[in-house]
Structure formats: structure tokens, C-alpha cells
Structure 1
Amino acid sequence: MDKSKQLNQHISNNGEDHPEQVNLAPSAGESNFWNTVKQAPVGMIILRGEDFLVELANDAYLNIVDRTEEELVGRSLFIGLPEVRDYVEPILLRVLRTGIAYHGNEFEVTIRRFGQPELCYFNFVYQPLFEEDPDHASGIIVVATEVTQQVLSKHALQRSENQFRNLVTQSQFAKAILKGPELVISIANESMLNIWRRRLDEVEGKKLVDVFPELKGQKFLTLLDEVYHSAKIYRENEAIAYVDGPGGLKKHYLDFQYAPIFEIDGSVSGIMASVNDVTDKVTLRQQFAETADRLSLATDGTRLGTWDLNIQTKEIIYSGRMAVILGYDEDAVLTHSEMRDRVHPEDRHSIVERAFRTALETGVYYYEARVIHLDESIHWVRTQGKVFFGEGHVPVRMLGTMMDITDRKESELALKTSEGKFRTLADSMPQFVWTADSQGYITYFNRSLLDYSGFTVERIEKDGWLPLVHPDDLAGSVDAWIESITHGNEYLFEHRLKRADGEYRWYQCRAIPQRSAEGTIEMWVGTSLDIHDSRLFIDQLETKVQERTQQLLVANNELVRTNMELAQFAYVASHDLQEPLRKIQTFATRILETERDNLSERGKDYFNRMQASSTRMQQLIVDLLAFSRANVAEKHLENTDLNLVLQSVKEQLGDVIQVENAVIKSDVLPVREVITYQFEQLFMNLITNALKFIGPGRTPVIEIRSGEVPGAAIPLAGADATRLYQYISFADNGIGFDPQYKDRIFQVFQRLHNRSAYEGTGIGLAICKKIVENHQGLIDAVGKPGVGSTFIIYLPVAS
């Protein structure tokens, strides 16, 4: 008998249903089995009946629930453990009634232990016990193992994992977790996703190399592999990386760290990648370096000396050019006081030291003074600087430049010397010559202005030139002069000036600002030129232009009227002119049918010629109407599949194509904006033309090709070299033509062959050209006698 049956038998023989307590002492033969159960390392308890009487509870179970054997054994389970009833009773009843075991993993239950309720977790099995009746369980054996510590440890690990993930995802620095040797992206925070220019769903769970295939050939995959297998941290600053973006591979500078992630057993399970994109910082530093180089070049080019003075210690750093300006060698070592000693004694106190004191208050340092070189030669220098202040507005540092302006000073002296010569020259000129200061007040005017105006020098110096200006021109003159003075723009204005006899004449007044080396306006130099005669001529010319414009307007109206008359003519031609022709054809046909026997052969020939002539005239009217319609048609464009247009034309010409046994080959034609019925007529004319001029003894073959070509490759005047064109070509194997006639064939009524040899009015190709021009396109013809012809249509591609 197996142990479960022994246990069932023992319970059946010795157990007594009693809600409070029963005697469950085992017989001597069962002591070994009971001892085995009681000493089992897992908690075991045997329950009987739907009251779940505790027949046996081993020490391990009693320790789990913190109960004594007296508190549990011989009583209902829920008397000893009332706190578990709500959790456990429904499960026990189901096992007892169904006979099906129940397994629980990490089952959560609150048990009162050590006087306090405690949340616990168990792995357990509820196994039904059967007696003689194998279909009805009489009890349940419970095997339980407490896993509270394992579950709590797992929860703590999960919390730690969540905290770790939160630490990564919420970090202001770019971080990502790469799992396993294949570097699968497990976590990537927002900062890292911004660097990667990817969304989380685009990278999570994917291999790093699959997301960024451009890393192949770069060093980063190798470094990651080394970190994973060596378990050592790797750091690098300003590493160059190429990352794929919207515009292709872009260069980035990265500070990064690869740190191994260790498991409890010390093995490496992944890598934490921390990245800081320092591209902007590195680029800015490089720009600063370039700027410094350019500044150095600029200062060398302008021959400026630079200096940096510590105001508190009087220590000075200066360029080699600075020493040369003061008369020393470029590599001379000088102190601030030695430099100050080179200033001319007359300028040292009155100019330089005064400018220095002013700079300590205003922050701006400026002066022009003389310096004495070691060879006793005197030179002029201009110094400019800026003071930098610390806390409490204490001057700390001064930066500045120095420039040798000896040449300019000498030029100023020469200018003063030549000023007298200038005045003499200006007085001899017939134009008005004058100067004004930076504020616009006249400081000089030549003799011609006095002679013209009759004013005295005193009056002009007092009232200026405004009294000479015509009242109607005065406001404009003043506004233009103020605008020039304010913004430093050249002054140019035409106004009337009053002559001494009271007559006003037109003058063009022009003034140019004269600036100092710093760019500030020092004075204005102006001239006034007599343009009276040319102004009158321009006025007369404008009058004639207006008259001519009126004439063109009348001519345009006449052209509109003529076009209307042409439209009326087209209507008449379409209806009234064709009606008599139809009657001529009808009556001629009837006469031939009814009077054929009475007509002579000559009469029949006359009637046949009359019919042929009327038919040609009718076709000529139709073609003229088509040409006129192509000229004046409304440009109603619609998106059209040209393949459908070609198919429609082939269906209309089906009988002719069949009779001639013609072969038409075609590429796939484009879909574009066209006037549909005109393109149908265009295709019709070109294919009909090819079928008409068939080479002797040949089967007609027409090849229609399509493609694109740059405008620069089109050998026609009017092609835009900057645009792209679509072309459609119609090539045949007909009789061809001499290339010298390629322009002639597109003219109205022009034929290269006798009418008796080939039918036609000579208008068809002229209509084709007009239709193509209606679409801003070009048409070309290439032919070779006896070989064939090719007509090429060029249509601009919409930009």
C-alpha cells in the first residue's frame, strides 16, 4: 500500500469528525511515515472534509504560519488561521469537490505572525486525497514552501531595475543601454534619441549596427566589443563620428564613455553608453581659432599694433608691430613706461595723459599724438582702446590698437596747402562749386554762383542757397538734402534756380560726402550743372512718347477689330464658302451619273476636273480654318495622357493604316498639360504626313519615341539652355527631303512635291508648328532624300 493510501486508511480508521478536536495519534506501524512527513523540509499539512480538519501539520508548516501543533492539529484550519479563510477556502473547496489538484506560485496571503499581520508569498500544491471511492476526495494534502524572501528580493530587484531605467531615461545626459554581445538597444533616453535623430520605437529591441549601419568601418563597434569582453571602461573626448541624417552623412564631435554593466555573478551583461554631442562647442572653438587667425592677418594687413594693458600692475602685452611703430625692433622688450616715454613731451600731458584719465571714466581711449623714434625722427600715431571694469566700476584692463598716421597727417598739411589752389581753380569754372560742413551749412562757393545769382558773399553766408530755389521745388530740395545729411548718402536733385534777371533755369545739384579715415563725414563737396536746355529737350521727347503711345493704342484697337473681322471671316468660310462647293460637287456628281451617256469624253474630263478642284478648294478651306483656329484658340490646358491621344488617332486612321499595311511603333508617352484636341490634330497631321509620303516599294514604318533633353542640347533658336525639355519624335522611312528645305516645309502653302504626285494643301505642317508654339514648344525636322524624315517636338518641363 502506498503512503497516500496508508494515510487515507489511517485517517479513515482513526479519524473522528469533530469540529473542535480529534485524536489523530498514529498506530505503531505508521510512525515511520508520520515522522518522515513531520521532518520534511517543506511545509506539509493534511486536511479532512469540508470543515478542513487539520489531521497533520509538520514542523516546517508550523514555523511558516507561526502556530503550535496544539493550535492547529485536531481543529478546523480556519480556527487556527482565520486570516487566510477568504484567500484559501474557495480554492480548497474546488479541489475537494473536483478532485483536481491546484498549484499556486508566489501566492500572496497575509498571515498573523509574531502578533502582527505579515504579507507572505508561497509556492504550494493542494493535492486531493482519495479513500475507497476514487471519484470522491475525502481530504487534501497541502505542500507549501514560503518564498517571501525570494519574491521580496525579486520585487526589490525590479524596483532597482526600474530606478535604474528611470535614472537613465531622466538623465539630462544622453545615455543608452546596450544588451549582450550583439549590442541590442534596451534603453535610450530622450537626449540620446535627439542625438540619434530617431524615435524610441525605431531603435528599442534592435541591434545597434542594424539601426546605424553607417557605424561599420568606424571605430565605435570595435570599442564596444572591447569594453564588453574586457569589462573595462573606455572614455574619449571630441571623437569624430559620421551619422546618417536627412542630408546624408554628417560629421559630429562626441565626448563618450562606454561602461560595462555587471550581473551579480560578476559577468558583463551589457554596456551603458553615455554620450555628449560637443559638435557646436568644437565648431565654435575652431571658428574662434579661424577668427583669431583672420584678425592676425587683418592687423598685419592694416599695419596695426595691438596691446593689452593690466591697469593695476601696468604690465603690458603687445604685438611686434607695436614696437616698430614706436621706433624699436619688432622683437624689442618694452615696459609701459618706456612706451609712454616715446611720446613727444608737448603731447604727453596735454593729449595722452588727459585721454588716459578720460578713458578710466568713460571706458573709451582715443588720441592722436606725436612720438619720437630713437633716431630723433617725429611720427604721428593714433591710439584707440577700450577699458574693461571689474566690481565697483574699478578699471582692470585696457585693450587697444596703435597705428602710424604720419602719412595722413602730412597729407592733411599738403591738403591745406593746396586749398588755395582749389579755390582759384573753382572760381574759374562755369559750374557752381560749393562745400558744406558735416551739418550741411555752406562753407565755400565759387565766383560763378555769385555772378549767376547777383547775391553778395554776405547774403549767401547768411541765408544760404535756399532763396535761389523755385518755390515749387523748395520742399523737395530741402527734404532730399536733409535725408543725405542724416544718412550720409550722395545728394542728387534737379531744381530750378533763379538768375539775377529773375529767370529760372534748371540745374542738377550733386554733393558727395568726404569722410575721414574713421568713416565719419567731415564735409560735403557739391556742384550745380546747368541742364536747362537738355531738360526742355527731355520734356519735348516725353510729349512725343505720349503721342506715340496714343497712336499705338489706336493701332492695337484696330488690330483687335481686325481679329474680330478675321473671326467673322472664319465663320463665313466655315459655313457660307463651303456650301457652294458642296453644291458644285453634288450637281457635278449628278450630271456625271445622269448624263454620262450624253457627255463627250472631254465633257466628262471637265466635270472630273471641276470635282477635283472643288474638293481641293474645300480641303484648302478646312486647312485654313484649322490653321486659323490654331492661331486664336483659347489656351485651355488639361492633364492629358498622350498615349490615349495616340490611340485615338490610330483608330481614326485605321483604314489607311490597314490598306498601307503600315507599322507604328511607340514608346510610352508622357502625361502633361496640353490642349487635347490640338494635340490630337498634331499627331494626326504628323502620322498622315508619314503615310502620305511613302517610299516606293516600302512598307511604311513609323517610330514614335519620347524622352527628356536639356535645352542646351536642342539645335534650335529659342531653346532655353537653363530648362529641361520633353521630346516626342515621329520617324518614318518615306521619301525624306533635302535638309536645306527644313524651314520651308513649316510655312503655309509650301510644298516640295507636285500636287499630282502627292495630295495636300501645304498647310498641315504649318498647323503642327502653330500647335507646338501654342504650348511654348519647338518643332524640328530632320530628313534625308530616299531615307526618311523625323519630326521632333520639344515641350518644356514644368519647373
Structure 2
Amino acid sequence: MSKMPEQANPQDALKQNEEQSSSVIREWIGVNTDMAGCNQAEIALYESVAHFQQAIEYAPVGMVIFDQQMRYVAVNRLWLEEYNLTDEIIGRSHYEVFPEITQEWKQIHQQCLAGAIAQREEDPYSRADGSIEWVRWSIRPWHTANGEIGGIMMFNENITQRKQAEEDLRERNMLLRSILESTPDVIVVKDCEGRYVALNTTAANFLDLTVDDMIGKDDFEVFPPDVAREMIAKDRHIIKTGITETYEELLASADTSGTFITTKAPWRDANGNILGIVATTRDITDRKRAELALQHSEERFRSLIEATAQIIWDTKAEGEFVTEQRQWSAFTGQSFEELKGLGWQNAIHPDDQLHTAEVWSHALANRILYEDEHRLQRYDGEYRYMSVRALPILNTNGSIREWIGVHTDIHDRKLAEIALAQAKEVAEAASFAKSEFLANMSHELRTPLNGILGYAQILQRSKHLNEEERSRIDVIYQCGSHLLTLINDILDLSKIEAQKVELIPTDFHFPAFLQGVAEMCRIRAELKNINFEYQLASELPIGIHADEKRLRQVLINLLSNAIKFTDAGSVIFTISYASEGKIRFEVRDSGIGVPQDKLQAIFLPFEQAGDNRRQTEGTGLGLAISQRIVELMGSTIQVHSELGVGSIFWFDVNLPAADEWVKTSQADDRGQIIGIKDHRPKVLVVDDKWANRSVIANLLSPIGFEVAEAINGEDGWQKVSEFQPELVITDLLMPELDGFGLIKRIRASEAFKDIAIIVSSASVFETDQHRSLEVGGDEFLPKPIQAMELFQKLRKHLSLEWVYEEQNTVSESERDNTELIAPPTAEIETLYELVMKGNFKGIIKQAALIAQMDEKYIPFVKKLHQLAKGFQDQDILALIQSHK
């Protein structure tokens, strides 16, 4: 149920003046007042409740009549509807109907019953649903015919809609005022007599006045007479014509002057009648200055365009020319009629139009820089190569508004680039032809070399040769190996020039590696009666991670050069630590030396220093190749030389220590292999050259392999099925079915897919080598075949255990039970010097001499020999020092 208006503060209500009551309430008060002067019949009429009820039923306000006991006497329809009541309340107490009425309101009722009047023009109250209603109410006494107070009358009018309309109007006025005050524009409203009826603070501030100062005044009271007359004339014209007008004018404010734009419009009422004018004035001084600056900038830009040799143009978003393009027309000879729209595309070479359209479409779709090169036809008909760049100018929404572009003539540069590209193609073709020739030449040379070196190795293993015959075989092998080295040098240079050389680092035993290099070069030095010294720092790592093949190639080249250019004196090979943990390799000789002006030239291909006799030895590629390899290792070969004194070559490299180094074959050299323990492996050799098959067969058969041969891939595939080998050694280039095809067939076969495959070829193309491994080969073995390398790969893939001709070791029990008797001090000192130099071969020779001195030294010699064979320098030192 809705609450009574008694919720309002009753004390405030008592203070309201009677003059503030509504016209409706006054009307009923008048009726009540007039009752005192009526005759008895009229009073009786009004006292008739039924008649009175009828009189108030349709009153425009809610009305209720109470007697002295606050019982309902009469109530109209609006009152009942307002409080959701029925006429059953007649005769009941007001306090019974509304028990929540407060004591304060009860006091007001009593005061009004005593003759007081209470009223309120606006009073809020809460309805049951929580909404707020606004009412206007009044409470006053009514009198009986004899003038006594018969009770009180309450009048209640709901003014919520009017209140809401007033609030809406107030908010609209506040919004309008906020808009007026927030704009930087001057806004004024004048009536038809020219008096200011409204304006914003900006307008008042412009004249250094207040809003109140200007309200009610006309222009003559605000502006100078001449300005006022002009403004009034314009205002009257607007009022007369009813037309809105906009114009620019120069005005002076209280503290500045400038250019303003003013818009005046008629001020109309709801019926369209003109009440005056509304004027807005905006300061556009900065904009006018910017427009002037832009005009000057455009003039300068236009002058720059006219002065430049480039073609500068602009188009619409899709690339259409819509304005005259003077520079374009001057270059192409196209008139505006010819180039407008997309007609400019006709000036592009027909062969370039499709590409140009594709690049343009991509830039257009992605709203990015358009960058291209194409040929553009000049006015004389010649097509010129042009570079074009165009930048999209975007709207605020990200769409393209226009393009600004530049064409630059690059014809001469482009012709030079084309000529250079053609020359490069010719050079690359020549280089390819050279590489192909070298590769083919290498293949043709390696094929017979495989037979020469292969049979030389077979004969070296023979037991039926005397020393002279063996010496001759060694010469054949050395000459063939030298020829192979020359071939490899030429191929290496070709690879390096093509930047196709890569380092392939592995873990290996460093002392064994160095000993092998030193011993190889020591023999050459001794043949020339040159002293060869090998000096090794004792703290060097046992295992390192590096490209063993390439490092050996560099060291042998430096040592070979030193020996070649030294006729007397010595060659010293030193390995030590340099700065920053790097290892230094140094080769010092007492040879002829190199002139200072030749120190750089000796590192160039085919360049050699020295007399003609020495220049005929080798290809002149060794130092060039070595320098490039060392550069790949992150270093450079340095040289210091004096004519007639000698030379020093050195380089410092980072060689990380290897966690698990792999012992070389030298570390496991226990004599010549003569058989296989507990096994007879089956090996199939597939090669179209009889000599190549024969070499492998004669190397393997004598030591226990069962060897079958096939003349090509088809034959090999048939032999695989028949012979069922454990390992296949195949060539690559063969008739009918090549090695690649054979490998694929084997790997695709369920029965033979796990057979080990070694690819052996004279092909030097790395693509062939990589491809052979990719299709399923396990190893690549280059021709000419080296016997020990072949044996190592066989042992690896077949898990073989060799039987050696000699066993220079003793059992653990023999070593434990045999007392070691050391040789004399002089021999011990010699051994100490040899081990400090890392000369393991010298240690073995010295051990042999000690064994000849006395049989009692043999256990010591065997122990020493075993340690030297294993390059166990620290164990050798411990053995020597324990017997000093």
C-alpha cells in the first residue's frame, strides 16, 4: 500500500504560507469559507454527506474529510486510487487505516483540528514499489453551521509528471549550458531589438566583460559605433530574410585581433516565428596562417618538382591520374587525355605490364609502399629502365586516399647491371666447366691410381719379397700417393673457391695424431740429411675435438715446405700453448728464407718462392689451401722470414679438449693383420672395373674374407640374393644399374635391408657422396682405397677382431711376475729427452737398442714398447722416473 504524504516533515509543513496553496485547494477553501454565511437550509444541504460526496467525487485533486475523531466522513475517487483504498474506509479511523502514521503527524492533525493550516507545494514520498512520487498537499479545518470546527480536510495533488518535466527541462538547460560553455566559439542570442538575451562565457571573455554585464544590452553599448552599426545591419537582414549566412571578418578582442568566421541564423519559436538571431563566431586565425603556410609549401614543392630530374606524380586511391602530370607528360609525351585514369599504363613496356600490375595490386591490397622497376617509353620511342617508389597516403580510417610516387631513370645503371650479370653468368659457367673438368679428370686419374696404390699395398703385405723388391714397391706407393696429393690439392682449391669446404670436427688422440705427422715428415727430412726436431709441450690435452683431416693437411704442408726449402740445418716442429688458451703450431727452418715483398704472395694460388728447381716441385697450392683452412678454424697463418737465415710459420687455434677421444689406428698398431678371429665374413664387391674389384678382393681374401664380385648394379642385386653377404662394397657410376639404384633396392628389401653398405667411388662430387649416404649407404670410402682405412670400416660394421702377425705384449700375470730391471742412467736420460719431445718412434728405436745390450732389460723394454705404442707419455715418464 502507498504511504500517506504525512511522510514529509510535519514541522516544515506547518510553516508554509497559506498564499502558496494551489488554485484547486483555494477553490475548495473558498467553498468551505462561504459555508459560514449560508442559511440553515443551505448548511443542511452541505451537511448532507451524500451530496458532499457527490460534489467532491470528480475534483481534480485527491480530497478527504475527517471528523473530530479523525474518522473518514467523505473521500473522492482520486484519493482512493492514489492510496489503493475503497469506500469501505468511511467511518473508520484514519489511524486504523494507516497504522504507520507517526506521532508528529498526529500532532499536526490535532493542531489543524484546533484551527491551524499546514501545506506544502512539493513533497516527495516513496511508493510501495520503491519509486518516488511528488505531491502538493494542504490540511485545514472545516466548520459546522454554527462555526465550530467539525474536523479537517486534506487535499492531495500528484505533481510527479510536472516535476519530471521540470527536471528534464533543467537537465536540458544544463546540457545546453555545458555545451555553450565548453565550446571555444563565441555564441550569442539577441532578440529582435538587438538586445543580448543569452551568451556563453567565451563571448563575454572575448570583450573582457561578464555574462551579466552583457545581458539586456545592445551592440552600441558593447562595440564602437561603426562596428555596432555593421553588426546590427547584418542582424536585421537575417531577421528580415530568415536566411542563415556565414562570412569571414577581421575582429579585435580585448587582447588580440585576427580572422574570424561568423554564422548568423534566425532564432525561432515553436511556431516558426522569428524571435531574434543566434550567432556563432570562431577564431580561425591559426587555420588561416596554416592555409597560407600550406600554400607557400605547395608553391615550393611545385618548384622543387619542376627543378628535379625525377618524375614526381600523384594519383587517386586506385591509381587513376585525375590531374595534369607535367613531368610525366614531358618524359613520355603522353597528353593528359592519353594518361588520365589508368592510361599511364600504356607507357610501360608490354613485357613489363603484367609484372607491374601484380606488384601494384599487392601494394594496393596491403596499403604498403609500392616499389618496382620497369621500362617506360620515352617521348622519342626509346624504352628506359625506371625505378619507381610510391607511398600511399591514408585516411584516418586506414583506407588509401591517394598515392605520391617518383620515377627515377636508372637506364644506364641497369644496363651496367645486366652486363655484369651476363659476365657473372659467363664466369660461373666457366667456373662450373672448370670444376666439372677437374672432377672428371680426378675421377679418371683416381681410377687407375686405385689399381696402382691398391696393388702396391697388396705387394707390401706379401711375405715373398726381398728387401730390394719391397723398397721398389714402396717407391711405387709413395709416387702414387704424391700424385694423389696433387690431385687432392687442385680439388681442394676448387672447393675453397666455391666456398664449399666445411670443417668436420671429431674427437681424436692428439699425441698420436702429432706423432704420426712428425714421423711422416721426419723420414723426408732424414732423406735430405736434415735434422728434424719434434718439441711437444707436456701439458697439452690427450684428446681434442677438431677436423683431423684438415689439420693434418695444414701441418704436413707447412712441414713439407720447410723441408723442401731447407738444404742444410734443421726443421723444428713445436706445439705449445699460446695466449688465451689457444694451441700454437710452429714450424721453424734454417732454409733459404722468403723475400719480404713475397711474404703475402706465397699465400696466393700457384705462387711459389725460391729458385726454379724448387718451384717445379708441387703445384703451388699448398699454402693457399692451408691459409683458407686455418681461416675456417678462426685463425691465420703468420710468417716471419729472413733471406739466407730461414723462416718461421705459425698459427694459434682453439682446440677444445675431447671428453672421449678416439684412438687412431696407430694407437692400436700391433702389427700386420693376418686374419680374423673366429669368423669368415662374406663381402660382395660391386664395380664395373676389374682392377678395382681385384684390389679389394686381394686385400680381403688373404686375411680370411669370403669375397664375391659383381660387374654392375643388376649383377650385384642378383649376387645379393645368391651370395647373401654381410657387407656390400659398391661403386656409384656403373652401367645398367648404378650404385644408387642398388642401394635403394637393398634398403627396400625386407630380407636384406640390414646389410652394411660401404660406398667406394672415385667421384669427388660431394653431392654424390652425400646422396650415397642419404639413400642408405653406411660409409663413404674414396678411391684410391687405403688398406688400413678399409680394414677400420670393416671392423666397425662387422664387429671384427683381428689376428695380428706379431704380438708385442705380455699377459698381465707375466707383467706382474717379471721384475723390471732398468738400463744404465745414460739410456734412461736419453729416454727422458725423447719422451719430453714426444718422439715415440725414437723411444721404440732406443728400446730396441737397450734390448740388444743385455737380455735382462727385455721385460723393461717390453713394458716401454707397449706404452710407446699406446702413446702413454705420462706412464712412460712414471716408468723412467721410478728407475732413475
Shorter chain as denominator, the TM-score bin is 0.3 to 0.5
**Superposition TM-score, scaled by structure 2 size:** 0.30
Q: Which has the higher contact order (CA 8 A, sep 6+)?
A: 2
Structure with the bigger percentage of strand: 1
